[in-house]
Structure formats: C-alpha cells, structure tokens
Amino acid sequence: MPAEHDPDAALMLRVKQGDTHAFAELVDKYKQPVTNVAARMLRDPTEAEDLAQNVFIQVYKSAPRYEVASKFSTWLFTIVRNLCLNEIRRRSRHPADSMDTAHPEQEDQPLHQFEDKKTFSPPDSLLQGELEQKIEQVLAELPENQRTAIVLCRQNELSYEEIAEVLGCSLSATKSLIHRGRETLKQKLKPYLRTGAWSEPK
Amino acid sequence: MMNDPLFQQWRELSWRRKLTAAEDAEVRAWLAVHPEAQPDWEAETALNDALGRLPEVPVATNFTARVLQAVELDRAASARERKWLGWQPWKRWLPRMALAAIVLGAGLFSHHEVVANRRAKLVRSVEVVSKVSSLPSPAILEDFDAIQRLTPPPAADEQLLSLLQ
C-alpha cells in the first residue's frame, strides 16, 4: 500500500529519518490497541504494558530498515503477535504445561479446561464487572490462534486480509478461526446470551 | 440457512463493526423470510455486544514518555559501543591480530623444539662414537716390528720343541 494512502506509514517513514515527534505520535495512537491485544494474548494485563513498550522499542529499532510493504498497523500487530508468542513460549519452558497447549484430539479446545467453580445466580443479578470477568475468562480459555484472531477482529484498524497477514494464514483459515472461537464463546456464555442479559437497557 | 452466503457476509461484517442502519434493515428483511436463522443471529449480536463491552486495558499516563526514554537509553548505549569500536579500523582488527600472533608464536616455538630435538639426537649419536678407543696411527703399520708388537706372538709350543730335540 502506498505511503500516501496510509498516514501511519508516512509517519513511520519520518521516524526512519530520525523524527522522534513522528514516533511519539505513533506511540500515542497505538499504545491502547497494542496493550489491549497483548493483554488478551498473554492473559496478563500487567505484563502486557511491559510487552507493549518493548513492541514500540522494536518498532523504533526497525525504523532504519522499514519499507512500506503493507499497512503500518498490519506490520505493528505482527510485531505484537511475535513478541507475545515469544513470551508465551518462554513461559511454557516452565515445568507446568502451557495453558495454550491444544487438546490432542480437539484442536478447538485447550488441553487444560479450567472449570468455573462459581455457581452463577440468574444473569439479571450479575453486576457488569462480573460479566466482563466472565467474558475475559472464557476468552482466555480459547486456543491462542482463535483468541488472537477474535481480538484482532475487534480492532477496527484491521481488515480480514490484514488479520490473515498478521496470523500468517489464509483468509479462509482466518475466518474459520474466528468462527470456531466465537462458537466456543457462544456455547460457554449460552446462559447469559439466552436470557439477553447483554441487551441494551430500554 | 446459516451457510447462506449473504447471511455469512453480514455475520462477518458484524464481527468487525456495528452494522449501519441500511445493513440492519437488509438483515431484518432477510430474517423475516428465514426465521430459522433468527436465534443464531441473536446469539451473534449478543456476543458482539459482549465483546464490545470488554474494557480497555489501563495504560500508564507516562507510557509514551517511558518508551521515548527507553529508546534514548538504547541509542546512547549503541553510540558508546560504536565509539569503543572506534573510527580507527585497526582497533577492530586487534583481537584478530592477537590471535594470529599467538598462532604464529606457537608455530615458531614448535619448530624450534623440533630442531633442538634433532640436534640433541645428533649429539647423542656422536657421543657414542667418540667413546670408542682411539686407533693407532696408520704410520706405524709401515714398520713390521711395530706391527708385531701390536699383536703379541703366539706362545712357544714347548711340547713340540721337546719332541724335536
């Protein structure tokens, strides 16, 4: 994509020339979405901010070699995903199994299913904070590739083609990942969805 | 029906963003003709709402400043490293030269040892030869008497002499 159609790529080209103001502009614009994606990929909001900082440091170090081969946001979220995967792999060297290990027979399901031992009272008694926690919990239980696909899908900056590029798979595979992840979410959140607990108050 | 391309298209659109009023109207019209798809569409929109309610993860107010500071520290460290390596090329070659000198020195030492060893062997062999008793001068061989004196004559055969008398 030509730089003139992507203002962020144009900013990045200025960073390449040593413009730190352009770099600060990019950081300000993307710090929130980058942190959101990192937090959901790592399932750790605390670590996510450190990783997000490392993402931008990596962006700055890569500036001399930067070429406008794709949209800036695609390139940026590819860095986010790679650093998150490195961190997940580093953690998986810990003796405990990685939470991202897929079930050998059902690749849609993680190896470890963490049973929700809470007994939820009828949805209309749930506070908004508890509901959000439930969504976060169920999202965190998805396999990494499905989770990442769904989280990136919520980022308005990326089209399906760009999400596929970040994930390193085809467009159809990307949509399949999103579909399967969403089916799992719908199944696990069924009690709340059925009663319409999330419909906008009238 | 759920696999209907049009329904799938709207579904995928809704995953990324809220449908416009026009798009929403089209979906409702389609659902009116395909009521069996209604529960699935409601589940999709409910999940979209739920995912949309996920809160933003808090980001420190000084996030950008910290990133800029980290970048500056990294840049200073890189500059120090470049300065140490120096603009004089030979400083970069110093470790290689040191290694080459060590290799050359080891080679020369080995050669010296080999030569010294050979010399020592030669000296030992000459020493063995020098221990042999010195031979008389050849000049004395010209004089028969002298030759006689070299090898004492055999002792007289007394028995034979007595028989001959």
Collect all residues of chain A within an 8 Å Cβ-Cβ radius of residue B48: none
pLDDT in tens, chain B (165 residues): 557 888 999 999 999 988 999 999 999 999 999 999 999 999 999 999 889 888 899 999 999 999 999 999 988 888 887 777 665 666 678 888 888 889 999 999 898 898 888 888 888 877 766 665 566 666 656 676 766 676 666 677 787 877 776
In one letter, which amino acid is A94? Answer: H
- Residue of A61, A132, A178 lying closest to B55 (CB–CB): A132
How far apart, in whole angstroms, are the C-alpha atoms of residue A180 and residue B49? 18
Q: Is the CB of residue A175 less than 8 Å away from at least one CB of chain B?
A: yes
Tell me whether residue A108 is in a domain.
Answer: no
Tell me whether residue B24 is in a domain.
Answer: yes
* CATH code at position A149: 1.10.10.10
Q: What is the pLDDT of residues A86-143, one digit of tens each?
A: 999 998 887 555 455 555 555 555 555 444 444 444 444 455 677 788 899 999 999 9
Q: Is the CB of residue A23 less than 8 Å away from at least one CB of chain B?
A: yes
Range(s) of the domain holding residue A54: 3-91
Q: Is the CB of residue B28 less than 8 Å away from at least one CB of chain A?
A: no
Tell me whether residue B31 is in a domain.
Answer: yes
Q: What's the confidence (pLDDT) of residue B145?
A: 72
Tell me whether residue A24 is in a domain.
Answer: yes
Tell me whether residue A17 is in a domain.
Answer: yes
Q: What's the confidence (pLDDT) of residue B53?
A: 84
Tell me whether residue A72 is in a domain.
Answer: yes
Tell me whether residue B109 is in a domain.
Answer: yes
Range(s) of the domain holding residue B116: 88-131
How far apart, in whole angstroms, are the C-alpha atoms of residue A145 and residue A81? 10
Tell me whether residue B69 is in a domain.
Answer: no
Residue at a domain's end among A91, A114, A143 = A91
Tell me whether residue B116 is in a domain.
Answer: yes
What pTM does this model have? 0.67
Per-residue DSSP letter, A10: H
Q: For residue B113, what are the CA distances in angstroms to A27, A167, B132?
A: 67, 65, 30
Tell me whether residue B104 is in a domain.
Answer: yes
Q: What angle do CA A152, A136, B16 make, to 5 degrees?
A: 30
Q: Confidence band (pLDDT; 50, 70, 90) for A148?
A: very high
User: How many other CB atoms are there within 10 angstroms of residue A171's CB atom?
Assistant: 13
How far apart, in whole angstroms, are the C-alpha atoms of residue B97 and residue A10? 46
Tell me whether residue A200 is in a domain.
Answer: no
Instruction: Give SS3 for B165.
Output: coil
Q: Is the CB of residue A66 less than 8 Å away from at least one CB of chain B?
A: no
Per-residue DSSP letter, A18: T
* Nearest-CA distance B118 → chain A (Å): 60
Q: What's the confidence (pLDDT) of residue A31?
A: 97
Query: Quick check: A177 pLDDT over 80?
Result: yes
Contact B54 A53 (CB under 8 A): no
What is the pLDDT of chain A when averaged over all its residues? 83
Q: What's the confidence (pLDDT) of residue A119?
A: 42
Q: Is the CB of residue B112 less than 8 Å away from at least one CB of chain A?
A: no
Tell me whether residue A109 is in a domain.
Answer: no
> Does A147 share its domain with A68?
no
Total domain count, chain B: 2
Tell me whether residue A113 is in a domain.
Answer: no
Total domain count, chain A: 2
What does the block give as tokens for B88?
């004089």
Tell me whether residue B42 is in a domain.
Answer: yes
> Does A77 share its domain with A12?
yes
* Nearest-CA distance A116 → chain B (Å): 19
Q: Taking each helix axis from N to C terminus, what angle separates A72-92 and A160-167, rounded to the nearest 10 degrees? A: 40
ipTM above 0.95, yes or no: no
Of residues A155 and A148, which shows the higher confidence score?
A148
Q: What's the confidence (pLDDT) of residue B74?
A: 87
Tell me whether residue A40 is in a domain.
Answer: yes
Tell me whether residue B12 is in a domain.
Answer: yes
Contact B12 A23 (CB under 8 A): no
> Does A71 share its domain with A147?
no
